[in-house]
Amino acid sequence: MSDAATGFSDVTTADVRAAFESENYVADDDIVTTVELALRLGKPLLVEGEPGAGKTELAKVLAGGFDAELLRLQCYEGLTAESALYEWNYTKQLLSMQSAEGGESVFDEEHLLERPLLSALRGEGRRVLLIDEVDRADEEFEALLLEVLSDFQVSVPELGTVRARTPPVVIITSNRTRGLSDALKRRCLFLHVAPPTFEKERAIVERKVPELGRTVAAELCAMTGRLREEPLLKPPGAAETIDWARAVAALRDGGDSALDDETVERTLGCLLKEVEDIERVDQELLVSLREAAERARTEAD
């Protein structure tokens, strides 16, 4: 991949930081440096981490912050090359064949339906290609990605080789439900996004939900952190904390007063997504959550 062709070869740390700032994305120096490197070297970035750690958001923020087009390929089991690359518009082909004078090909641009990967390769200008949750796709699909990731080209038998004139920035996310191939990893820079610390999560909530009081935000993050210590079926990620904070903010009319049990119980569904997890929050655990919240409130004051 040509560095210059991506349009990011001269990007600086300040540029990346400004892009994150403009999108209200709280990023550690680790993330800023790794993203800067991926942009400057023109390498795909493989982002791994727990669900809700902000992996997908990273790509969205990059696209928004650098005013680039975002193309998203959501991976799933059984994802085929046709769904990811291109398909032929069979109906249109059939109509063309019926109405054609004869001899005209129906395997041309006019009858081609672009899917996300081909769109990303053939587009112009700055683009961010998000290949989301690649670990959900089959291993065969990974093989398809290799040509795209290393050469930014793909072969369409009827049209020939399609090579990107301006390669997109590629962000690949994985929740590690299965191991990825060495071949895929070899083509990427690697970033492991750890679950947010209390301080980072609090900064995220303050940035994303500014209408919530500072001490209440600290209370919420402390309670989320305490809940993550429980053996939950689906521990809440940063995204759930933000949802919860928004719900709490909507129920309160401003102010910095302490959270009451009723508000917590009414809004727990934003944080916990499994019935078993919600049922686990009994009176004993509520007391423990309130204690964690009070400690956080004291320190925040």
Partner 1 sequence: MDPAEHAREELVRFVRALRRAGVAVPANAGTTAASALAAVGLADRERVRVALRASLITKGEDEGTFDELFAEFWRRLTAGLDPSGPAERPENPPDGGLAPLGADPAPGEHADSDGENDERDGEEGERSGLGAVVGRGAGEAGEEVTAARYSPTGQREAISSFAVPDTEGFDDAFDELTRALAELAGRRWTGGEERPDVRRALRASLGTGGAVVDLPRRERARTAVRARVVVDVSRSVLDVVERPFLLRFLQRAHAEWRDTRTFFFDEDLREVTDSFDAPSSGAALAALERAETEWGGGTHLGRSLDRLRTDFPYSVDRRSVLIVVSDGLEMGDVSALETALSGLSRTASAVLWLNPLAASPEYEPTARGMAAALPYLDGLFAFAGPADLVDLARQLRREGPHGSIGYEHDAWRTERRTTHQTQTT
Report if residue 17 touches partner 1, rule: CB under 8 A: no
Q: How far apart are CA 69 and CA 228, in angstroms?
A: 35
**Whole-angstrom distance between the N-terminal and C-terminal Cα of the chain?**
51
One-letter amino acid at 56 equals T
Report if residue 146 touches partner 1, rule: CB under 8 A: yes
Report CA torsion sign: 209, 213, 214, 217. negative
Please choose, from the candidates 204, 208, 182, 186, the residue with its C-alpha nearest in 3D space to the C-alpha of residue 195: 204
Q: Where does this chain touch partner 1 (CB under 8 A) — which range of 18-26, 109-117, 185-193, 225-233?
A: 185-193
- Strand segments (E) across 153-265: 153-156, 160-163, 169-174, 189-193
**Least distance in Å: CB of 182 to partner 1?**
6
Q: Toward partner 1, which CB reaches closer, 7 or 213?
A: 7
Total residue length of the chain: 301
For partner 1, the binding residue among 34, 56, 224, 241 (CB under 8 A) is: 34
Report if residue 48 touches partner 1, rule: CB under 8 A: yes
Instruction: Kindly list the distances between the CA atom of residue 146 and the CA atoms of 12, 86, 93, 114, 162, in Å, as whole numbers in the listed order.
Output: 28, 17, 30, 19, 14
**Least distance in Å: CB of 90 to partner 1?**
18
**Least distance in Å: CB of 285 to partner 1?**
29
Report if residue 26 touches partner 1, rule: CB under 8 A: no
For partner 1, the binding residue among 18, 97, 113, 143 (CB under 8 A) is: 143
Q: Where does this chain touch partner 1 (CB under 8 A) — which range of 43-51, 110-118, 126-134, 243-251?
A: 43-51
Q: How far apart are CA 31 and CA 23, in angstroms?
A: 15
Of residues 152-181, those binding partner 1 (CB under 8 A): 155, 157, 160-161, 176, 181
Report if residue 58 touches partner 1, rule: CB under 8 A: no
Main-chain dihedrals φ then ψ at residue 73, nearest 5 degrees: -115, 110
Binding mask 231-250 toward partner 1 (x if CB under 8 A, else -) reads --------------------
Q: Where does this chain touch partner 1 (CB under 8 A) — which range of 110-118, 137-145, 269-277, 284-292?
A: 137-145
- Strand segments (E) across the chain: 45-49, 69-74, 86-88, 112-114, 127-132, 153-156, 160-163, 169-174, 189-193
For partner 1, the binding residue among 147, 229, 291, 299 (CB under 8 A) is: 147
Q: How far apart are CA 118 and CA 107, in angstroms?
A: 16
Residues contacting partner 1: total by CB under 8 A: 37
Main-chain dihedrals φ then ψ at residue 27, nearest 5 degrees: -125, 135
Report if residue 187 touches partner 1, rule: CB under 8 A: yes
Report if residue 2 touches partner 1, rule: CB under 8 A: no
**136: DSSP letter:** G
Contact residues for partner 1 (CB under 8 A)? 29-30, 33-34, 37-38, 40-41, 43, 45-46, 48-49, 81, 139, 143-144, 146-147, 150-151, 155, 157, 160-161, 176, 181-183, 185-187, 189-192, 194
